[in-house]
Amino acid sequence: MPVKIAYVTTGRSDYGPAAWLIKQLFSDVRFDVSLIVGGAHLAPDFGLTVQEIEEDGWSIAARVAFLQPETGAVGFARGAAAALAEYAKVFERLRPDLVMLYGDRFELLPIATAAVLLGIPIAHLCGGDITEGAVDDQIRHALTKLAHVHFPSSERSARRVLQMGEEPWRVHMVGDPALDNFVHGPRATDEEVRQAIGFAPDRSTLLVTFHPATLEHERIPQQVEELMIALKEHTGPIIMTAPAPDPGRDVIHAACLELARENPRAVLVPSLGNRCYRSVLYSVGAMVGNSSSGLIEAPCVPLPVVNIGGRQRGRDRASNVIDVPAKRRSVRAGIARALSPEFRASLGGLRNPYGDGHATERILRVLGDLSGREQLLTKHFVGCEGMGA
């Protein structure tokens, strides 16, 4: 009998990077895949990205609406509480053998809780990473302790998962499947890119993605103001993608809208989509902001990245990343360095710390040889013998 796997995606952050993995799961006769789509995918304000999933041709087993009754942190907390009940209903109906979760989005916590309460093993992708400037860091570590099979993206992350007391047989360092999708997935044509953003990007173009640093919530307005002032001095085109649906998003989104209105060479898009995003990364001069994509996918180009502030603090990075504080002068200086031919030339032969683009085949190999349900669910803490714990 095929292993029944439920892959849950709630937004572009856990669909685009895993698109190649999802494709291979659907193609493998050893697995019976249920794709559960929820969260921001189903919200028009975030680009209604469920349409991209439909265009990719995958059957959607269940849809869970974006459950956020009000804005702000309280709204997100209430939405998470509602999600717990809704995903429990979905899991009870589908009865998967395994639930797969990618990353660290806050909405994954109630989803994992629902699976645990129903006795369904969890496979977690990209545990053990560090992002000290965001609440995602705490959620990611919590997911590690709720999960039963771990697919960390780097050696350092694998060691952290083991440090949290997970049994070694559960931990498989595979690399980040985002690289698989970036390396093997198709790119949009030049004409498709022009239709998506209104012009053809070149090496004078900046790709800007700035997400809320959720542990620095009070400083978000000031950080955004400093970034926008720096961007206003850039004479080339600017492509801005919408921030993640986290507390503080509205402030960032409003500032991006204002810049797009004031600057005819700046454009704000809710989501570029997988194919277009890959093409844009190969076309632009630099990425600016605080997206994990600058640390994970951008080294594949290799693309210079100006990483602003502390959201990605602690995460592994290659030498394409220029870390700067959220100060206008520092951001301007970072952009100038990133766009210099000398810096671009220095990135030749860059090694990506997140793998080699073959994470998917390693993941499938592990999934095809999983332990039984009872062994997966019975977890033992490793490392406290003789410590009085």
Residues 379, 381, 384: CA angle, nearest 5 degrees: 165
pLDDT class of 389 with cuts at 50, 70, 90: very low
Residue with tokens 């492509």: 239
* Same fold for the pair 3-184+358-377 and 190-345: yes
Q: For the ranges 65-69, 130-134, 195-199, 334-338, which has the lowest average pLDDT?
A: 65-69
Residue 122: other Cβ atoms inside 10 A: 24
Residue 333: other Cβ atoms inside 10 A: 15
238 phi/psi in degrees, rounded to 5: -135, 125
Residue with tokens 């402030």: 251
Crossing angle between the packed helical segments 19-27 and 359-367, to the nearest 10 degrees: 40
Question: What mean pLDDT value characterizes the chain?
Answer: 94
Give 46 or 154, the one with higher predicted confidence.
154
Give 375 or 79, the one with higher predicted confidence.
375
Residue 271: other Cβ atoms inside 10 A: 21
Q: Is the pLDDT of residue 69 over 60?
A: no
Give per-residue pLDDT as tens, 167-209.
999 999 999 999 998 999 889 999 999 999 999 999 999 999 9
Distance CA 269, CA 7 (A): 27
E-state strands within 14-97: 31-38, 60-64
Q: Is the pLDDT of residue 304 over 90?
A: yes
Distance CA 19, CA 32 (A): 17
Residue with tokens 């931990």: 171
Q: Is residue 335 classed as helix, strand or coil in its secondary structure? A: helix
Q: What pLDDT shows up at residue 340?
A: 98
* Terminal CA-CA length for the chain: 41
- Residue pair 294/207 in contact (Cβ under 8 Å)? The answer is no
- Residue pair 129/317 in contact (Cβ under 8 Å)? The answer is no
pLDDT class of 80 with cuts at 50, 70, 90: confident
Torsion of CA 222, 227, 230, 231, to 10 degrees: -140
342 phi/psi in degrees, rounded to 5: -65, -45
pLDDT class of 388 with cuts at 50, 70, 90: very low
Distance CA 276, CA 190 (A): 9
Closest CA relative to residue 96, chosen from 23, 25, 2: 2
Q: What pLDDT shows up at residue 387?
A: 40
- Residue pair 7/25 in contact (Cβ under 8 Å)? The answer is yes
pLDDT class of 67 with cuts at 50, 70, 90: low
Domain ranges of the chain: 3-184+358-377, 190-345
* Mean pLDDT, residues 40-56 taken together: 91
pLDDT class of 79 with cuts at 50, 70, 90: confident
Give per-residue pLDDT as tens, 270-293.
989 899 999 999 999 999 999 999
pLDDT class of 244 with cuts at 50, 70, 90: confident
* Mean pLDDT, residues 349-361 taken together: 96
- Residue pair 130/163 in contact (Cβ under 8 Å)? The answer is no
Question: From residue 265, how far is each of 27, 70, 201, 370 by CA, in Å?
Answer: 42, 34, 11, 52
* Mean pLDDT, residues 328-340 taken together: 98
Cβ contacts of 246 within 8 Å, gap of 6 or more: 76, 106, 211, 212, 214
Give 244 or 359, the one with higher predicted confidence.
359
Distance CA 19, CA 21 (A): 5
- Report the percent of the chain where pLDDT is more than 90: 83
- Domain 3-184+358-377: which CATH number of 3.30.70.1400, 3.90.1150.10, 3.40.50.2000, 2.70.170.10: 3.40.50.2000
Q: For the ranges 68-72, 311-315, 347-351, which has the lowest average pLDDT?
A: 68-72
Q: Is the pLDDT of residue 70 over 70?
A: no
Distance CA 364, CA 370 (A): 10
- Domain 190-345: which CATH number of 3.40.50.1980, 3.40.50.720, 3.30.1490.20, 3.40.50.2000: 3.40.50.2000
Residue 111: other Cβ atoms inside 10 A: 30
Q: Is the pLDDT of residue 386 over 50?
A: no
Give 13 or 72, the one with higher predicted confidence.
13
